[in-house]
Homo-oligomer: A and B are copies of this chain.
Amino acid sequence: MEEDPRIADLGFARVDVDRARRTGDAEVVYGAGKTPGQVIAILRTLHERHPERAVLATRLSEEALAQVATSLPEANVDAVARAATLGPFPEARGTVAVVSAGTSDAPVAAEAALSIRVHGAAADVIEDVGVAGLHRLLAVRDRLEAADCLVVVAGMEGALPSVVGGLVGTPIVAVPTSVGYGASFGGIAALLAMLNSCAPGITVVNIDNGFGAGVFAARVARRAAPVP
């Protein structure tokens, strides 16, 4: 097993360097629970195998963000998204609009936007358009319709995807966030609301999972705008 070229064995991890061949997208470093040194080592390994396109590390601690900036000066560190990339972004094919309800949802929206760009689509970020002030949302209807896919981010009661889903027919990936208190249960209230949306054409990812929504939406957008 040790010599399988599809696996890069770093001792503390066995990286799946074959994933891009199978699925079109390289493996990503999930930073939670990893030391800064481990994050940097895996990023370097992935970058060596995929020098032509950006590789991504998410869920980085303050300490990891700082060490990545120091050790990998060519890396792109996104403090809001708590993530970093190494290597050039691929050319964008198709556009994903990232729509968020409130200012507290910004980190999740930023993680989604960065993931979209790493995975080869453009991101159009539209923030602070929650349902308690509908005029803010109605004003951007054109951008919602122009996108190839939507990532809609909301905490608390999670109503935004339903309202968007009644306005336009673009495919919607809803991301519940852990914003809230009391009986919001760290995002469960928003997650349930999104799963039970009365508007059709809405799918959902896990709480705060901007990365997963971004990967999925980029894949949809890329297919909608094939290489000429």
Contacts and interface: CB of A to CB of B under 8 A. Distances in A.
Nearest to A226: B224
Contacts of A219: 169-171, 201
Interface in A169-208: 169-173, 178-208
Interface size classification for chain A: 35 or more
A228 interface: no
A24 to B, nearest CB: 4
B134 A13 contact: no
Nearest to A6: B135
A137 to B, nearest CB: 9
Interface string A1-28: 1001011000011101011001111001
A160 to B, nearest CB: 8
Contact of A157 (B130, B149, B159, B213): B159
Given A6-B135, A200-B25, A200-B215, A12 B163 contact: no
Given A157-B196, A223-B224, A181 B207 contact: yes
Tell which of A24, A182, A220 has the most Cβ of chain B within 10 Å. Answer: A182
Contact of A162 (B25, B157, B194, B224): B157
Contact of A192 (B28, B189, B209): B189
Nearest to A102: B198
Contacts of A189: 189, 192-193, 195-196
Tell which of A156, A162, A198, A215 has the most Cβ of chain B within 10 Å. Answer: A198
A60 interface: no
B201 A132 contact: no
B201 A23 contact: yes
Interface of A: 1, 4, 6-7, 12-14, 16, 18-19, 22-25, 28, 32-34, 101-104, 127-128, 130-136, 139-140, 148-149, 156-159, 162-163, 165-173, 178-209, 211-213, 215-216, 219-220, 223-224, 226
